[in-house]
Amino acid sequence: MTTSKPVIGVSCGDLNGIGIELIIKTFSDNRILELCTPVIFCSAKAISFYRKGLPEINFSYQTVKEFNRLNPKQVNLYSCWEEDVNITPGELTETGGKYAVLSLQTAVAALKQKQIDGLVTAPIHKKNIQSADFQYPGHTPFLKAMFNANDVVMMLCAGGFRVALVTEHVPVQEVAKHITREKILSKLALVHKSLQKDFGIDKPRIAVLGLNPHAGDEGLIGNEEETIIKPAIKDAKNNNMFVIGPYSADAFFARRSFDKFDAVLAMYHDQGLIPFKTLASGEGVNYTAGLPAVRTSPDHGVAFDIAGKDKADVSSFITAVYECIDIIRNREEYDMNRSNPMKKVTQNFLANAVDERIEE
């Protein structure tokens, strides 16, 4: 496993949201430079605008134009634009979305070219990012398209509590038609693999929620559990995955049944995210599982109501940075162990021998 610090790219998000404030607050603590080399995709003028509103923050950076000139001991700013941009904190504007997309596109290009090792994305607003050149409802579908992934999973993480989604930003009245046996199995396979590769869990345990109240009550309240979800769970078991369900969502979270599992697969957005955000205490991370690269983000939005007021809580954003670093390390270890299995056996043998000597 490499001992070098990973290079973590950071997109700035909506210029009028709390993204840049979170970036400044997070990387003002120089201790984080011991863990990674940050590269912010933004502009010096935008950073300066928000820096002036944070008088107590000690934040510095160097501007770079080439990735081979990154300073591992300092925050690096990769300037995505030079022109003056009108920043109006708290307002939903076309400009805010335009430059959020530019930052994201530049960062993802660097991620694809392996100029950075991982990406942390600050929040964007789904309405003002839409244009003729960008027609994605959010980060996840954009990243899926950019990496030509067959499928990806939106997974919210807070320590050992993880909630993945079958459907993401789909209107409630359309959710049921998007729930298919094939789709559930695909999501389960991705979550299973991610838990092994990205989180270091050899034999993951996954719970699956039902779609209907009381998980359908054996067909009395909808039949999706009987005709779709249970067969998909059976398929997963036949593929050597430890999967149990479908569970009634309300009782599952109320009884903290999630403590018994490494991840939970919810059928739709609010079914999974309302309990997750309630229980994660503001430190949740949004992770895109299934990509060849690592991308994390905080589990909240642009927060226009507090933008530019020095009120943004950095807890989730900092955790997203740490999670990005951890997953990169976990992937390195996973690949190393499988590229040289004899080395792993030898390491385990030596570790056991040391334990035995200690016991003696």
**Could you say which DSSP state residue 12 is in?**
-
- Same domain as 282, residue 177: yes
Give the pLDDT confidence of 108-131 residue by residue, as tens digits: 999 999 999 999 999 999 999 999
In this predicted structure, the answer to whether residue 138 has a pLDDT above a threshold of 50 is: yes
Indicate the range of 134-143, 176-185, 292-301, 347-356 predicted with least confidence: 347-356
In this predicted structure, the answer to whether residue 178 has a pLDDT above a threshold of 70 is: yes
Listed in sequence order, the residues at least 6 apart from 186 whose beta carbon sits closer than 8 Å to its beta carbon are: 150, 151
Give the pLDDT confidence of 12-40 residue by residue, as tens digits: 999 999 999 999 999 999 999 999 999 99
Give the pLDDT confidence of 190-207 residue by residue, as tens digits: 999 999 999 999 999 999
For 59, the token pair is 């934040």
- Same domain as 198, residue 89: no
Give the pLDDT confidence of 217-227 residue by residue, as tens digits: 888 899 999 99
CATH number at residue 226: 3.40.718.10
- Same domain as 297, residue 231: no
Strand partners, 54: none
- Same domain as 62, residue 9: yes
In this predicted structure, the answer to whether residue 349 has a pLDDT above a threshold of 90 is: no
The pLDDT of residue 306 = 97
In this predicted structure, the answer to whether residue 51 has a pLDDT above a threshold of 90 is: yes
| Strand spans (E) along 7-85 | 7-11, 37-42, 62-64, 76-79
What is the H or E stretch that residue 249 is in?
Answer: helix 249-254
Nearest to 8 by CA among 145, 121, 156, 102: 121
- Same domain as 353, residue 330: yes
301 vs 225: CA distance, rounded Å: 32
For 121, the token pair is 């994305």
Q: How far is CA 138 from the centre of its chain?
A: 12
Which phi and psi (to 5°) does residue 164 adopt?
-105, 160
Terminal CA-to-CA distance of the chain, rounded, Å?
Answer: 31
189 vs 186: CA distance, rounded Å: 5
- Same domain as 262, residue 173: yes
- Same domain as 225, residue 285: yes
Helix (H, G, I), strand (E, B) or coil at 91: coil
Give the pLDDT confidence of 246-299 residue by residue, as tens digits: 999 999 999 999 999 999 999 999 999 999 999 997 789 999 999 999 999 999
Which residues in 72-89 are b (16+ Cβ under 10 Å) and which e? eebbbbbbbeeeeeebeb
For 193, the token pair is 């693999």
Listed in sequence order, the residues at least 6 apart from 317 whose beta carbon sits closer than 8 Å to its beta carbon are: 22, 23, 25, 26, 120, 122, 298
- Same domain as 280, residue 158: yes
- Same domain as 158, residue 142: no
302 vs 306: CA distance, rounded Å: 9
The pLDDT of residue 201 = 97
Domain boundary residue among 289, 308, 330? 289
Domain boundary residue among 289, 319, 338? 289
Residue 123: which domain range? Answer: 1-149+291-360
Domain boundary residue among 289, 313, 343? 289
303: left (phi over 0), alpha (psi -120 to 50) or beta: left
* Burial zone of 2 (CB within 10 Å; 0-12 exposed, 13-18 middle, 19+ buried): exposed
The pLDDT of residue 359 = 45
% of residues, the chain, pLDDT over 70: 93
The pLDDT of residue 4 = 81
- Same domain as 224, residue 354: no
State the total domains in the chain.
2
Q: How many residues appear in the chain?
A: 360
314 vs 288: CA distance, rounded Å: 20
The pLDDT of residue 1 = 37
Indicate the range of 57-61, 312-316, 354-358 predicted with least confidence: 354-358
For 313, the token pair is 């809580």
What is the H or E stretch that residue 106 is in?
Answer: helix 94-112
241 vs 185: CA distance, rounded Å: 10
Listed in sequence order, the residues at least 6 apart from 55 whose beta carbon sits closer than 8 Å to its beta carbon are: none
In this predicted structure, the answer to whether residue 43 has a pLDDT above a threshold of 50 is: yes
Nearest to 252 by CA among 205, 201, 196, 213: 213
The pLDDT of residue 182 = 98
In this predicted structure, the answer to whether residue 2 has a pLDDT above a threshold of 60 is: no
- Same domain as 155, residue 122: no
